[in-house]
A and B are shown apart, each in its own frame.
Chain A
Amino acid sequence: MAIAIGDKLAGRAALGDRLRQAAEGVVIPTLALIAAMILFGIFVAVSRVDPLELYAVMYRGAFGTWFSWQNTLTRAAPLILTALCTALPAQLGMVIIGGEGALVMGGLAATAAALALPGAPPLAVQLAMALAGMTAGGLWIALAGGLRHYRGVNETISSLLLVYIAIALLNHLVEGPMRDPASLNKPSTRAIGAANMIGSIPGTDIHWGLVFGIIAAVLAYFLVYRTTFGFAARIAGGNMRAAKVVGLAVGRLVLAMCFLGGAAAGLAGMIEIAAVHGRANGNLAAGLGTTGILVAFLARHNPLAVIPVAVLLGGIGASGGLIQRRLGLPDASVMVLQGIIFLMVLASDALYGRIRFFAPRGG
């Protein structure tokens, strides 16, 4: 009896520790965000813009109206997927920053798949595009993972360099072998055809990519926290030496996790083609992969947290147009804000475990 009560108390204490830990994961990124907003406020104040007015305008541009919400959510969709490209390998302790490359390769492969299947039913074309995009993106990042595991090449550097290779490949193909002769100003491939576009969620201007993104994030969450594969990955990510002692096939885990992350970014590329551009061209490399890194870090690599953070970052992007029109700031100003946020988030990493309030009390 006494033991049972003791157990229950202990359980409650552990729950308290877990809550404190969760709170730490929310409070510290929030602090980083606020610090970034203050710094950016100083930055715009130098340009004689009232920071408070700026943030009010940004809020309206991102979340103020149904129109701005649709804009925000449309921008958030690919960010969720490219963030997973960083967040999934991060479970294994890897820092992959090559989501942009996987997105470009995914977009290219999806376009090629659509162009290779003229006259097929749209659903089949779309499926083929998604499969091709995910495979291409997955293999692209698995390459970085393989280099890391079997050759000891730093995965951060290799995945970054693979971005440039992917963009060079894209440029080569759209200006050469895959170029549509009719595209004069902006070299592009031929269009995949209006029938093959995936369209919008009924009643909105938001394309279906948002739904794919949310499904992917939820699946990723369950994969990481509820399956044996995710458990093995968390062991390996927490301590590679311990994973080897219990005989886990670490190489396979690395390749699989990198493939899944790359597949998510590749799917984002497919969606960019099938829902936005309709053809592959230089617009594919628009920095969505790069912003995805920021989303993943802000979300502490938690696949579920990626969703709201992507919406937030999507909102910041969506507000760029409005602050240009209303305050006369260049719309690239929001890129400055993003950059400052990224710096602050990276710097805030040093705070984990340092704030007494969040320290576990268990023993």
Chain B
Amino acid sequence: MPVAGALGIEAVAMTKRFGDFVALDDVSLKVAAGSFHALLGENGAGKSTLVKCIMGYYRPDQGAVIVGDRERSIDNPRAAHALGLGMVYQHFTLVPAMTVAENLVLARAELPAIVDWRRESEALEGFLARMPFRVPLDVKVSALSAGERQKCEILKQLYLERRLLILDEPTSVLTPPEADEMLGLLRGLSDRGEITVLMITHKFREVMAFADEVTILRRGRLAAQGKVADLTPDDMARSMIGAEELTAAPARLDRRGEARLEIRHLAALDDGGQPAVRDLSLSVHAGEIVGVAGVSGNGQRELVEVLAGQREASAGEIRIGGEAYHATRDEMRRHKFSCLPEEPLRNACVGRMSVAENLAFREFDRPPFAFGGVWLRKSRFREEAEGKIRRYRIKTRSPETPVGMLSGGNVQRTVLARELGERVEVMISANPCFGLDFSAVAQIHAEIIAARNRGAAVLLVSGDLDEILEIADRIVVMFNGRLVHETPAGRADLVEIGRHMAGH
């Protein structure tokens, strides 16, 4: 029986290089046993790299890890597990088709060839009785809500007798109440000295409410470290961003016009043929940003795919400017339709084609790119691209670089430059800032608001409620394929929205 109780950990002067790129530069981190430590930073700041070095996924070029009071060399995740370190990921690692009990038992490192399920479930009941929260053991994971699944993930770590939990943005798929509940449980466990928590996050609210200490990384270096009680969110934000100039969002003009995009009784099926969007009606007016909030997986993706032309609607209709809309190229042009889908490399770009070519996807069959609508004029691709690369600050080595080699922010800037290059009247945008750094987010938000000010009807679907609260004029909540709540952004009530996101 291994020693129980929380485990302290210290990373000393960790450095990790990938080729010429220094992902982690001489970062030290000390997490006291039984504390709740937050690791803050923008995307690409080195948070994941640091954690992966601790967990043995990466081998640091320099530095050491001290677990408890001894220096340990952790060569692979199994070694980390043996020391009592466990990790909970942003995405679930449970097998959906199995019950909770099966998932827990099968996660064990050593499993007998024949599992005596009766004895195991007795042992599990005994284990659960000691836990501060319960989950139903005989239910299939696929039937659990996101919050319950995340609880199972934590329970699994405790069942495996991990004494230090590293959580990588554990609340990103949860509603605010679910997130609070889960973090509260973790907080309780650490207060009782049962586990130590190291949580990667980018949400200040969670840091302020639950963490004792915080470490902030910026561009692979240690930017700040200290007790949460001594810091304000503003201090933390400054440490995260540094002296970088952010694009200021333009002032919002009140230019709400006629209904431009109308969705009537729309229904769509998901990939498995199950209803994903059910009888959804919504109109977006000119000069308005409508934010669609909701926990991901409630039909938002299918809704966006129908609007973008990637999926057939099974019922209902879409009208733009009073005309029926079927996402053909002609209609997109006539209605000045543009789309910023999520995961731009998967949805809006061809990774092996160049930046210049990707920038021309909307216009390549018209002058100046094409001669007579048939013959491509290669030189114009480069010229047009150079202007857009400068205007949208796309960091690329040349217009001929394959877009797949750019960083996420620059791929999204490329799509932004293409989609906003011409006048826009209708814009569909889905998680446009997912995984991007502050400067890219600020620029994208500023461009979306500018398009709105010019009279565009913008539909913004986002899993990030803060993003919606920040730039939407009107908020609707999507749950189980339907819109269940609507409120003007000015009078939005976070509790009310959270309740509807969870389907209550």
Contact = CB atoms under 8 A, between A and B. Distances in A.
Interface of A: 7, 10-11, 13-15, 17-18, 226-229, 231-232, 234-235, 238-239, 241-242, 244-249, 360, 362-363
A247 B347 contact: no
Contacts of A228: 364-365, 370, 373-376
Contacts of B400: 11, 14-15, 17-18
Given A226-B375, A235-B361, A245-B308, A362 B327 contact: no
A246 B329 contact: yes
B402 A360 contact: yes
Given A244-B310, A362-B398, A238 B374 contact: no
B309 A247 contact: yes
A249 B361 contact: no
Interface stretch (B134-142, B273-281, B349-357): B349-357
Q: Name the interface size band of chain B.
A: 35 or more
Contact of B346 (A18, A241, A247): A241
A247 B398 contact: no
A245 B347 contact: yes
Given A234-B350, A238-B351, A238-B353, A245 B398 contact: no
A7 B397 CA distance: 8
B105 interface: no
Contact of A247 (B327, B370, B401): B327
A235 B353 contact: yes
12 contacts: A15-B400, A226-B375, A227-B374, A228-B376, A229-B374, A231-B364, A239-B346, A241-B346, A246-B329, A247-B309, A247-B328, A362-B402
B425 to A, nearest CB: 15
Given A235-B361, A363-B405, A10 B398 contact: yes
Contacts of B361: 235, 242, 246
B362 interface: yes
Contact of A363 (B310, B357, B362, B397): B397
B405 A249 contact: no
Contact of A249 (B308, B328, B339): B328
Contacts of B364: 228, 231-232
B362 A242 contact: no
A249 B328 CA distance: 7
Given A245-B339, A249-B329, 4 more contacts: A7-B386, A228-B376, A231-B357, A242-B347
Given A229-B374, A235-B361, A246-B361, A241 B332 contact: no
Q: Is the interface of A mostly helix, strand, loop or mixed?
A: helix
Contacts of B397: 10, 13-14, 362-363
Q: Is the interface of B mostly helix, strand, loop or mixed?
A: loop
Of the listed residues A228, A229, A246, the one surrounded by the most CB atoms of chain B closer than 10 A to its CB is A246
Interface in B313-365: 327-333, 339, 341, 346-353, 357, 361-362, 364-365
A242 B332 contact: no
A296 B328 CA distance: 33
B350 A242 contact: yes
A363 B401 CA distance: 8
A244 B327 CA distance: 8
Nearest to B20: A363
Contacts of B373: 228
A14 B289 CA distance: 40
B175 to A, nearest CB: 28
A7 B387 CA distance: 13
Contacts of A235: 350, 353, 361
A67 B152 CA distance: 76
B208 to A, nearest CB: 37
Contacts of A238: 350-353
A71 to B, nearest CB: 39
A232 B365 contact: yes
A64 to B, nearest CB: 40
Contacts of B310: 241, 244-245
Nearest to B341: A245
A238 B349 CA distance: 8
Contact of B308 (A11, A227, A244, A248): A244
A238 B354 CA distance: 12
Given A241-B347, A360-B405, A247 B376 contact: no
A-B interface, 8 closest residue pairs, ranked by CB to CB distance from nearest: A238-B350, A247-B329, A14-B398, A362-B397, A10-B398, A14-B400, A228-B365, A247-B332
B411 to A, nearest CB: 12
Interface string B386-403: 100000000011101110
A245 B309 contact: yes
A230 to B, nearest CB: 8
A248 B401 contact: no
A246 B362 contact: yes
A244 B137 CA distance: 44
A335 B159 CA distance: 60
Nearest to B21: A363
Given A228-B364, A246-B362, A362 B351 contact: no
Contacts of B329: 246-249
B376 A362 contact: no
B349 A247 contact: no
Of the listed residues B348, B376, B398, the one surrounded by the most CB atoms of chain A closer than 10 A to its CB is B398
B461 to A, nearest CB: 14
A227 B398 contact: no
Nearest to B328: A247
Nearest to A8: B398
Given A228-B365, A231-B376, A239-B351, A246 B332 contact: yes
Contacts of B398: 7, 10-11, 13-14, 362
Contacts of B330: 247
Contacts of B402: 360, 362
Nearest to A239: B350
A231 B364 CA distance: 8
A248 B331 CA distance: 11
A362 B405 contact: yes
A7 to B, nearest CB: 7
Contacts of A247: 309, 327-333
A50 B201 CA distance: 67
A81 B397 CA distance: 39
B405 A242 contact: no
Nearest to B340: A245
Given A17-B401, A232-B365, A362-B405, A242 B348 contact: yes
A35 B420 CA distance: 50
A361 B211 CA distance: 42
Nearest to B378: A226
B334 to A, nearest CB: 11
A239 B349 contact: yes
A120 B361 CA distance: 49
Contacts of A11: 398, 400
A226 B371 CA distance: 11
A141 B330 CA distance: 28
A86 to B, nearest CB: 20
A277 B293 CA distance: 69
Contacts of A362: 396-398, 401-402, 405
Contacts of A239: 346-347, 349-351
Contacts of A17: 400-401
